[in-house]
Chain A
Amino acid sequence: MLYAVCFLAVIFLLKNNHSKRWIIIIPVFVIVIVLNPFFAHFTYKRIFPSFLEYGRLTWVMLIPFIIALAFVEFKDRIGKKGKSRCWVVLLLILFLFSGGNPFFKFIVVPQNPYKLNCSVLDICTELDSDLKSSFDYSYVHTSTRADLSENDNRPTILVQYDDAQSTTGSCLYWGIRQYTSRVLLANTVIEPVDYSSEDFILSDYGISNYQYFACTNDKHLKNQALSYGLSLLAENKDYLLFKNEKEVTIYFVRHGETEANVAELLAGSGTDAMLTQLGQAQAEEAGEALSGIEFSQIYTSELTRTKDTAQIILSKNQSKTLQKQAKTYAKLNDIDWGDVEGMSISDVLSIYPDFSEETYIGTISNSSFVSPIHAESKYSVASRMRTALGHIAMSTDNNGDALVVGHSCMQWELHYMFSNEDIPTLNNAYITVLEYNRGEWTLKCVNVDPNQFSLVE
């Protein structure tokens, strides 16, 4: 209303002055009409909804011009006494409105010409310095875009989001993003209530997949990251920066043959089948093949068949591994087959003639799949396996070896990780070797017969 009044006053004042300069506000007048939110609402809003932002911004940013023009012309006509009153009224109006000025809301004294928080800048400069010294960026300048998209091997950094840290909760992430493009960023929300709890596991947040990790300076986060063997690159009162330089080899062995395998049952995490005699013999063969390797970590699922297989493997081990205990890790458990858990395949087919993995447990990429037989989805199992491998890599000593005894469902995660490789069904007690190097996985060999393993090694 004030805008319209001033506008009309301007036209009146200038026109009555017999001055042609009132013509100059005609284009402004047209803009005001065309971009007026009320006019826009009844005309082009439905066709160009995003246009309204232009309208709003233009319309309101012309307000100072119109008001200033009206003020000057009005002041000129009211005589000397009125002039000082005009200024007083204007200043009063400004005083009334200035409470809404956002400048007063988030005014921050700058700490540097970058206008970044000093702690953020400290992390950014350390990260950039390390990237420059350890990463060859010349390929970006020479490769074609297609080459780069297929093999975008920029190092990656996981940055912790913590809404408590800034007005938007993102100043560390966006500070790094604005400061350097050498690294590919990903963020993860780890709230204080999470990392302060006793059962907080940092590796559950996917840290194993990244070459760098930046987070709040909290003792829980710091202790866990250091226990994983991450190098502390930078530390200040607010943030920490870690570098992942871990190299680990994981020897994955599927459990030996079980009674359920012989009976062709769908035996998942709900069926605690025991090893057959052949299964035990298979485990011994695997143990012989791996006897010379000193394992720094041993993991099994919670099911007896994997624990027994691991025990047999370790009994053959000639190194100091004998003194170590296998740890059970629930994320390595087999798939839960839900309504068909423990049923034979023929029984399942008689009830569900169209039974297939895709129909009843989904695909690796389908995160929203709901199994009609209340089974665990393939996506969920693969994600679980991914987290498990990451955790195992992080908890194994640097340059160490880990033994993992698990189930055939690991095959799905291997398919996901190595989509260009031909991953066969994992046979009982066959060996798969994965190498983890600074956040990246390579498949050294897959599903190798223990009797042939020495040749592969």
Chain B
Amino acid sequence: MDQILLGTLIFFLVPVYIKKRQSSIALSTIALYFVEAIVLFFVWTVISVFFTFKDYPFNVSIILYYIIIGFGYVAIIIYAVLGKYHKTHKPSSFSCASKYLSATTFGIICYHIFRLTYFQAYEYRDNISYISAINDIIETNRFFLYNEISGKVILGHTNMSRKLALSAWYTFEAAISYISGLHPLIIVNTVLPPFIILFSYMSYWLLSELLFEKQYNKRLSFLLVIALLFQFLTEETSTLFLIWPTWGKNLVLSVLIPIYLYFYYTPDLKEKSRHVILVLTGFSACFISTMGVVLIPILIIGCKIHAIIEKKRIELKDIISTLTLLLPVLIYAVIFILW
């Protein structure tokens, strides 16, 4: 448990420290959190899929993950400490946002998080089999040893459900459970929901930055309406699904799609950095849920239509960038077919 607390502290404090030391980084602190989460998940995806394919022990994958991200964090902190100190003063106009609107929005969001985390419905069929799979991984120290529904032994990686074997999200939850020492039921039912709901709102907050720029009242109104609609509409439109973190498609829709749009359109990123982050986000979307494999190409096509509308022609660099952004989908498709 203390490892998870330490990890959470590092997760939230490192971007704050880097942003303070290197104010020239155009991305906001919230955007840096998403970059950090996406990179962490990408590293885990590579390890998880490889270890699943090779049937290596689960605890060895955790150790390897520790080593890689440990080195990564150390390198980033050294860069921040030893790198040239940049401080640029960016006046924040958030102070002119309505206090009542800020308080209401914040209150509604907190209420949403509390309500859906505390009062989670007990049973949902898909959740049951996924939690079984996560529990099996931890107890057996093997990736997908047992069929999550029948409980029978899965003979080899070719007999695994490809959708499950290539979804690093379940193994990621197993990793969190293993590191924290908490039972997967607690992780999935109690610990993860508030983080995921919070990240969902953070992604919409970033998206509102593109829509309304520095009009904070409008951004807060937007977020407030989102929060009200999330909570009080019917089953189909509410984020009830967010309380079941084993639903990968939920994460893709509520967190990754908005953040993908943000990273695509934000003026705060250079083209190369943008491409790298979008490719990594695409990887995350594909390897969290097969819904990402479907949505990412549609999203990219939609985004590219804008370029065509603006320039009224198709350029070679657009085609190259499209193919680059489609790389995660292509890699996923190749692994899926060859698995």
Instruction: List A residues at the B interface (Cβ < 8 Å).
Output: 21, 23-24, 26-31, 34-35, 51, 54, 56-58, 60-65, 67-69, 71-72, 75-76, 90-91, 94-95, 97-98, 100-103, 106-110, 113-117, 137, 140-141, 145-146, 148-149, 152, 166-168, 170-171, 174, 177-182, 184-185
Closest to B228 in A: A94
* CA–CA, A103 and B114, complex, Å: 13
Closest to B123 in A: A168
* CA–CA, A428 and B128, complex, Å: 53
Do A68 and B226 touch across chains, with their CB atoms under 8 A apart? yes
Do B261 and A171 touch across chains, with their CB atoms under 8 A apart? no
Would you list which residues of chain B between 211 and 259 have a CB under 8 Å from chain A?
Answer: 211-213, 218, 221-223, 225-226, 228-240, 249, 253-254, 257-258
CB neighbours of A116 from chain B (8 A): 122, 185
Q: Does B167 contact A (CB under 8 A)?
A: no
Q: With A61-B237, A107-B121 as given contacts, are A26 and B305 in contact (CB-CB < 8 Å)?
A: yes
Cβ contact of B225, chosen from A26, A67, A109, cutoff 8 A: A67
Q: Does B70 contact A (CB under 8 A)?
A: no
Tell me, rounded to whole Å, the shortest Cβ–Cβ distance linking B254 to chain A: 7
CB neighbours of B221 from chain A (8 A): 71-72, 75
Do B234 and A97 touch across chains, with their CB atoms under 8 A apart? yes
CB neighbours of B229 from chain A (8 A): 63-64, 67-68, 94
CB neighbours of A167 from chain B (8 A): 122-123
Cβ contact of A101, chosen from B190, B211, B232, cutoff 8 A: B232
Q: Does B186 contact A (CB under 8 A)?
A: yes
* CA–CA, A67 and B229, complex, Å: 9
Known pairs A145-B145, A152-B153. 10 more at Cβ < 8 A?
A35-B298, A90-B228, A91-B228, A95-B232, A116-B122, A140-B140, A141-B141, A166-B122, A171-B123, A185-B151
A-contacting 9-mer, from B12-20, B45-53, B130-138: B130-138
CB neighbours of A64 from chain B (8 A): 225-226, 229-230, 233, 237
Q: With A30-B301, A63-B237, A102-B235 as given contacts, are A21 and B210 in contact (CB-CB < 8 Å)?
A: yes
Do B298 and A34 touch across chains, with their CB atoms under 8 A apart? yes
CB neighbours of B239 from chain A (8 A): 61
Closest to A28 in B: B302
Contact with A along B165-206 (1 / 0, CB 8 A): 000000000000000000111100110000000000000100
Q: With A76-B218, A102-B240 as given contacts, are A31 and B299 in contact (CB-CB < 8 Å)?
A: yes
Tell me, rounded to whole Å, the shortest Cβ–Cβ distance linking A232 to chain B: 25
Q: Does B4 contact A (CB under 8 A)?
A: no
Do B253 and A103 touch across chains, with their CB atoms under 8 A apart? no
Do A71 and B141 touch across chains, with their CB atoms under 8 A apart? no
Closest to B235 in A: A102
Do B156 and A145 touch across chains, with their CB atoms under 8 A apart? yes
Tell me, rounded to whole Å, the shortest Cβ–Cβ distance linking A434 to chain B: 26
Closest to A63 in B: B237
Do A178 and B118 touch across chains, with their CB atoms under 8 A apart? no
Do A101 and B123 touch across chains, with their CB atoms under 8 A apart? no
Do A145 and B237 touch across chains, with their CB atoms under 8 A apart? no
Tell me, rounded to whole Å, the shortest Cβ–Cβ distance linking B197 to chain A: 13
Tell me, rounded to whole Å, the shortest Cβ–Cβ distance linking B261 to chain A: 6
CB neighbours of A29 from chain B (8 A): 302
* CA–CA, A67 and B238, complex, Å: 13
Q: List 30 A-B contacts (CB under 8 A).
A: A23-B265, A23-B309, A24-B265, A30-B305, A54-B294, A57-B236, A58-B253, A58-B257, A58-B295, A61-B236, A61-B237, A61-B253, A62-B253, A64-B230, A69-B211, A75-B221, A76-B218, A102-B121, A103-B116, A107-B121, A110-B120, A115-B120, A117-B122, A140-B142, A141-B142, A148-B153, A149-B153, A166-B123, A174-B128, A184-B152
Tell me, rounded to whole Å, the shortest Cβ–Cβ distance linking A44 to chain B: 11
CB neighbours of A23 from chain B (8 A): 265, 306, 309-310
Q: With A60-B237, A141-B140, A171-B123 as given contacts, are A69 and B222 in contact (CB-CB < 8 Å)?
A: yes
Instruction: List B residues at the A interface (Cβ < 8 Å).
Output: 55, 57, 115-116, 118-123, 125, 128, 131-132, 135-136, 139-142, 145-146, 151-156, 183-186, 189-190, 204, 207, 210-213, 218, 221-223, 225-226, 228-240, 249, 253-254, 257-258, 261, 264-265, 291, 294-295, 298-303, 305-306, 309-310
Cβ contact of B189, chosen from A106, A113, A177, cutoff 8 A: A113
* CA–CA, A91 and B228, complex, Å: 8
CB neighbours of A115 from chain B (8 A): 120, 122, 185, 189-190
Between B135, B232, B305, the greatest number of chain A beta carbons within 10 A of the residue's beta carbon is seen for B232
CB neighbours of A21 from chain B (8 A): 210-213
CB neighbours of B294 from chain A (8 A): 51, 54
Cβ contact of B183, chosen from A63, A179, A182, cutoff 8 A: A179
Closest to A115 in B: B189
Closest to B252 in A: A58
Tell me, rounded to whole Å, the shortest Cβ–Cβ distance linking A380 to chain B: 25
CB neighbours of B186 from chain A (8 A): 113-114
* CA–CA, A64 and B234, complex, Å: 11
CB neighbours of B235 from chain A (8 A): 100-102
Closest to B151 in A: A184
Tell me, rounded to whole Å, the shortest Cβ–Cβ distance linking B132 to chain A: 5
Do A72 and B218 touch across chains, with their CB atoms under 8 A apart? yes
CB neighbours of A145 from chain B (8 A): 55, 145, 153-156
The 8 closest A-B pairs by CB, nearest first: A27-B302, A30-B302, A64-B229, A68-B225, A115-B189, A100-B234, A181-B136, A149-B153
Closest to B134 in A: A178
Cβ contact of A178, chosen from B132, B207, B237, B309, cutoff 8 A: B132
* CA–CA, A95 and B303, complex, Å: 35
* CA–CA, A90 and B231, complex, Å: 13
Do B57 and A141 touch across chains, with their CB atoms under 8 A apart? yes
Q: With A54-B291, A114-B186 as given contacts, are A72 and B261 in contact (CB-CB < 8 Å)?
A: no
Tell me, rounded to whole Å, the shortest Cβ–Cβ distance linking B174 to chain A: 12
* CA–CA, A113 and B183, complex, Å: 10
* CA–CA, A27 and B140, complex, Å: 43
Do B146 and A30 touch across chains, with their CB atoms under 8 A apart? no
CB neighbours of A185 from chain B (8 A): 151
Cβ contact of A57, chosen from B212, B233, B291, cutoff 8 A: B291
Do B225 and A72 touch across chains, with their CB atoms under 8 A apart? yes
* CA–CA, A146 and B298, complex, Å: 42
Do B222 and A68 touch across chains, with their CB atoms under 8 A apart? yes
Tell me, rounded to whole Å, the shortest Cβ–Cβ distance linking A244 to chain B: 19
* CA–CA, A102 and B235, complex, Å: 6
* CA–CA, A102 and B234, complex, Å: 7
* CA–CA, A171 and B121, complex, Å: 12
Tell me, rounded to whole Å, the shortest Cβ–Cβ distance linking A97 to chain B: 5
* CA–CA, A180 and B146, complex, Å: 12
CB neighbours of A113 from chain B (8 A): 186, 189-190
Tell me, rounded to whole Å, the shortest Cβ–Cβ distance linking B193 to chain A: 10
Q: With A152-B153, A181-B132 as given contacts, are A107 and B254 in contact (CB-CB < 8 Å)?
A: no
